[in-house]
Chains A and B, each alone.
Chain A
């Protein structure tokens, strides 16, 4: 009834993701929540 897997949800989920990207929150974890990208001079381990 609430279109959770339909286009309406997809539109707004994409908007949320785009907004997160614009705010530097781009990497999605398996739990959905994204984390800020590490600064360029650091590798993935933060070194």
Chain B
């Protein structure tokens, strides 16, 4: 049975999509069957693995609103072991359409639960909000990974996000765990970045991943090629742990 990990932070530009794409790609490179789910109407995770959101015949929106099988909408990517459940701008309408439905928080869970038998890991990229789409993804997930940017407002909104996670854990998904806090966009030349690392580690202690994602131009450029930075080259498996 696979594990659903949702990447969430209501703050924008903290590295959610980059993390979702590259973590999914690395798990796939390590030969774990992985599904990347794009739960952001901007569709950047979709295009980031080489699928044009304008050309898809359906995706997360369709299967969620129809409560239908998601498999027909899942696409293979160029990376072996990595599939994507794409999305396009239609997903923005889901937020409004769910409002009047019973058990609106569980709509994605019912669709995604059967996929856990098909994949080792399911990585969900969320939009920067705490709306119904994100609540749905937290309800469907086994754990949440929280990227935090190593910048001045790093901890802004973290309290609200953790309150939301606690609310979901208490009322909607008692199995939801916090996978960890991931520091992103770290520039070791900046004193501020080092201070943020210290502060986040002081607040969240063991919850913080030892791995810190550095601010790199090539990471930012990779989506323009429609491929994860951590693409399919076999030697990536043999890279040393730094």
Contacts and interface: CB of A to CB of B under 8 A. Distances in A.
Interface of A: 1-20, 22-23, 28, 31-34
Given A8-B214, A8-B216, A13-B26, 17 more contacts: A2-B218, A2-B225, A3-B222, A4-B233, A5-B233, A6-B216, A6-B229, A8-B230, A9-B239, A10-B239, A10-B242, A11-B216, A13-B30, A16-B27, A19-B27, A22-B179, A31-B31
Interface stretch (B130-138, B160-168, B204-212): B204-212
User: Chain A interface mostly helix, strand, loop or mixed?
Assistant: helix
A11 B25 CA distance: 12
Given A3-B229, A19-B179, A22-B179, A8 B218 contact: yes
B111 interface: no
Contacts of B227: 2
Contacts, number: 112
B241 interface: yes
Interface of B: 3, 5, 19, 22-23, 25-27, 29-32, 145, 179-180, 182, 209-214, 216, 218-219, 222, 225, 227-233, 235-237, 239-242
A41 B222 CA distance: 46
Given A11-B212, A19-B179, A33-B32, A4 B26 contact: no
Contacts of A18: 209-211
B182 A13 contact: no
Given A22-B179, A23-B3, A16 B26 contact: yes
Nearest to A12: B22
A34 B233 CA distance: 18
Contacts of A34: 30
Contact of A9 (B209, B230, B241): B230
A-B CB proximity, top 10 nearest: A16-B26, A12-B22, A3-B218, A4-B233, A33-B31, A8-B219, A8-B229, A32-B237, A9-B230, A15-B211
Nearest to A4: B233
Interface centre among A5, A14, A28 (most CB of B within 10 A): A14
Contacts of B218: 2-3, 6, 8
A33 to B, nearest CB: 4
B209 A15 contact: yes
B213 A2 contact: no
A34 B32 CA distance: 9
Contacts of B219: 3, 8, 11
Contacts of B225: 1-2
Contact of A33 (B30, B180, B216): B30
Contacts of A10: 239-240, 242
